[in-house]
Amino acid sequence: MMDIVEFFQLSSGKWFSHRTSYLLAGKQSEGGKSDVLVEMISTTDPEVIQLCEQYGVTPDLALCGCRTTWNSTMDNMKKQSGSTLLVPIADSEHAATGKLLRQTSQEKSLVPGRYSIGSDDALALVIEDGETFSEERLWFASPNLRLRTTLLKQAGGFRVASFWSEIRMGLTKPPENKG
């Protein structure tokens, strides 16, 4: 079974992402596309250490750092860009479940999440801040095709479901010759 560090390592690289979102109450949909860059960051990186300290977590507990940067265009909207820094903290010795420290360029407040990796090697992320509930599921259909679903609920009844297909730009490292 995969752990969170392996999942982030497999996600590293440049991706083209296509998204379809559905506003459930209004029965409306919109599409969009993004260029996404996923980078692994050392646990000794000052940004990782600072994020741990902001959450009151000992930096030694960080399993890795992962930065995602994106440039997006949605139907009938201007371009958006941003980044997110993620730092997983395992619940136990096995890194399949734990707390997810996160900082986004869009939000000023720090809202931790939870992560878990199922027996199917899909990563589930849950983030709640009292007003908003977000659940995201990510998995690999192949080494260069990643799929994602999200469900966003807000206290006022606002609900959005989204589906992403993400294609790695370029080839992954070829398998090593064993002969």
Cβ count within 10 A of residue 8: 22
State yes or no: pLDDT of 13 exceeds 50: yes
Amino acid found at 131: E
Rounded Cα gap, residues 158 and 144, in angstroms: 33
What's the confidence (pLDDT) of residue 178?
42
How would DSSP label each residue in 82-136?
EEEEEEEEESSSSTTEEEEEEEESS-SS---EEEEE-TT--EEEEEE-SSEEEEE
> Domain map of the chain by residue range?
4-168
Cβ count within 10 A of residue 160: 18
State yes or no: pLDDT of 172 exceeds 90: no
Contacts for 104 with CB less than 8 Å, ≥ 6 apart: 82, 83, 84, 85
State yes or no: pLDDT of 81 exceeds 50: yes
What's the confidence (pLDDT) of residue 155?
82
Nearest CA among 96, 98, 76, 77 for reference residue 87: 98
What's the confidence (pLDDT) of residue 177?
44
What's the confidence (pLDDT) of residue 29?
87
State yes or no: pLDDT of 174 exceeds 70: no
Q: CATH code for 4-168?
A: 2.40.128.20
Give me the mean pLDDT over the 162-172 stretch.
85
Please give the share of the chain, as a percent, with pLDDT higher than 70. Answer: 94
Q: How many residues does the chain have?
A: 179
Q: Between 178 and 45, where is the model more confident?
A: 45
Contact in structure between 65 and 47 (CB atoms under 8 Å): yes
State yes or no: pLDDT of 48 exceeds 60: yes
Nearest CA among 148, 121, 151 for reference residue 18: 148
